[in-house]
Amino acid sequence: MAESGYVVRDRIPLSTNPSAIELKINREDTYRIHVVRDSSAATEALLAELDGRRAAVITERTVASLPAYRITGALGERGRLLGSIAIPPGERSKSLDTAYLLIDWLAQLGLARRDVVVALGGGMIMDTVGWVASAYMRGVPYVNVPTTLLAQVDAGLGGKVAVDHNAAKNLVGAFYQPRAVISCLEFLETLDPRQARAGLAEVVKKAVIASPELFQFIEQNADELVRCSPRPSETLVRAASTIKCELVGRDPYEVDLRRPLNFGHTVGHAVETTTGYGPVLHGEAVAFGMAIAVDISRARGLLAPALADRITRLLTGLGLPVRLEQLRSVPPVEDVLAALDKIREIRDGSLRFVLPVELGTTLIADDVTEDEVRAALLRNVAEDVPAGRR
Task: Report, as residue numbers or ranges, the catalytic residues.
Answer: 138, 160, 202, 244, 254, 258, 262, 265, 269, 282
Residue (of 281, 258, 226) closest to 347 by Cα position: 258
Cα 141 to Cα 158: distance, rounded to the nearest angstrom: 14
Rounded CA separation 45/42 (Å): 5
> CA–CA distance from 149 to each of 65, 329, 357, 378 (Å)?
18, 22, 27, 31
Closest CA relative to residue 107, chosen from 141, 137, 129, 143:
137
> What string of H, E and C letters represents the secondary structure of the chain?
CCCCCCCCCCCCCCCCCCCCCCCCCCCCCCCEEEEECCHHHHHHHHHHHHCCCCEEEEEEHHHHCCHHHHHHHHHHHCCCEEEEEEECCCHHHCCHHHHHHHHHHHHHHCCCCCCEEEEEECHHHHHHHHHHHHHHHHCCCEEEEECCHHHHHHHCCCCEEEEEECCEEEEEEEECCCCEEEEEHHHHHHCCHHHHHHHHHHHHHHHHHHCHHHHHHHHHCHHHHHCCCHHHHHHHHHHHHHHHHHHHHHCCCCCCCCCHHHCCHHHHHHHHHHCCCCCCCHHHHHHHHHHHHHHHHHHCCCCCHHHHHHHHHHHHHCCCCCCHHHCCCCCCHHHHHHHHHHHHHHCCCCCCEEEEEECCEEEEECCCCHHHHHHHHHHCCCCCCCHHHC
